[in-house]
Amino acid sequence: MSGIKIVHSTMDPSRAQHREIVPAGESWIHLVKKGQIFRIVDLEGNQAVDTLFYNAHDLTDRYSFQETIREQKNIYLTAGTKIMSSNGNVLMTIVADTCGRHDTLGGACATESNMVRYAIEKRHMHACRQSFVKAVIAYDHGFEKRDIANNINFFMNVPVTPEGGLTFEDGISEAGKYVELRADRDTLVLISNCPQLNNPCNAYNPTPIQVLIWDAQ
Ligand SMILES: [Zn+2]
């Protein structure tokens, strides 16, 4: 695929301070401190990792796809992308990326969108939005449903056609590919490891991911 930029990391996984597997369909919430390096590994390939970022010192200052797209003048996210907040702060920067393209237009799956896109019987299937809500309620820091705004879909391939159309395509990620971010300020990261079974964003087969955190160098 043209325009894909691959940047490898020099971080050693055996030296990470935090290593954890997030099973398919589960959520994960964690504080990543300023200077720490945070990696998400697509363990089996073609998984969609729906992710939200919040300024840890002001949870109303949260990831903004508008600010992020405007800042880099590109709709695809990859190495060099600054993860911007709604107040215009840089929360994190993507410093390595062996997949090369991530989406921030497709949004997170919800029971409502499952019904509209696929079939009314899909109503009872678990969706990312529920994982996000479940995680913020369990986190219990005054977070609630309205704090779930637009997200990034790491490893998800949503190409935009020359006419401006949006298409959900088979992923370009493969087993072991990763994206790595440096925290530019203390950032709360919230992940829903997507349980979606109805579209090719995770190959109709949700799989686990690994998250790693290294302390500031
Ligand atoms: Zn999803």
Which residues have a Cβ under 8 Å from the Cβ of 191 and sit 6 or more positions away?
22, 27, 28, 29, 40, 49, 50, 51, 52, 209, 211
pLDDT at position 20? 98
Q: How confident is the model at residue 182 (pLDDT cuts 50, 70, 90)?
A: very high
pLDDT at 38 over 70: yes
The half-sphere exposure of 131 on its side-chain side, counting CA atoms within 13 A, is 26
Do 99 and 155 meet the contact criterion of CB atoms below 8 Å apart? yes
192 Cα: distance to centroid of ligand 1 (angstroms): 7
Would you say residue 2 has pLDDT above 70?
Answer: no
pLDDT in tens, 44-75: 998 999 999 999 999 999 999 999 999 999 99
Q: What is the pLDDT of residue 167?
A: 83
3 inside domain: no
On whether residue 93 sits in a domain, the answer given is yes
Is residue 151 situated within a structural domain? yes
Instruction: Give distance in angstroms: CA of 133 to centre of ligand 1.
Output: 13
Q: Is the pLDDT of residue 11 over 70?
A: yes
In this prediction, residue 8 carries a pLDDT of 98
- Is residue 7 in some structural domain? no
216 CA to centre of ligand 1 in angstroms: 31
pTM of the entire predicted model: 0.94
Tell me the CA–centroid distance for residue 176 and ligand 1, in Å: 20
Gap from CA of 217 to ligand 1 centroid (Å):
34
Query: How many angstroms does the Cα of residue 45 sit away from the middle of ligand 1?
Result: 15
Distance from Cα 105 to the centre of ligand 1, integer Å: 13
Q: How far is the CA of 177 from the centre of ligand 1 (A)?
A: 19
User: Does residue 1 lie within any of the structural domains?
Assistant: no
CB crowding 8-30: b at 16 or more within 10 Å, else e: ebebeeeebeeeeebebbbbbbe
**Biggest alpha carbon–alpha carbon distance for the chain:** 50
Overall number of domains in the chain: 1
The answer to whether residue 2 is domain-embedded is: no
Q: What is the pLDDT of residue 111?
A: 82
Give the pLDDT confidence of 79-135 residue by residue, as tens digits: 999 999 999 999 999 999 999 999 999 888 888 777 777 778 777 778 899 999 999
Residue 129 CA to ligand 1 center (angstroms) comes to: 7
Average pLDDT, the chain: 91
Q: Look at residue 8 and tell me if it is in a domain.
A: no
pLDDT in tens, 131-176: 999 999 898 888 888 899 999 999 988 888 899 998 877 778 899 9
Q: Would residue 182 count as lying in a domain?
A: yes
Summarize the confidence of residues 31-39 as an average pLDDT. Answer: 98
| Calpha distance 152→11 (Å, rounded) | 23
For 125, the domain range is 13-214
CA of 99 from ligand 1 middle (Å) equals: 19
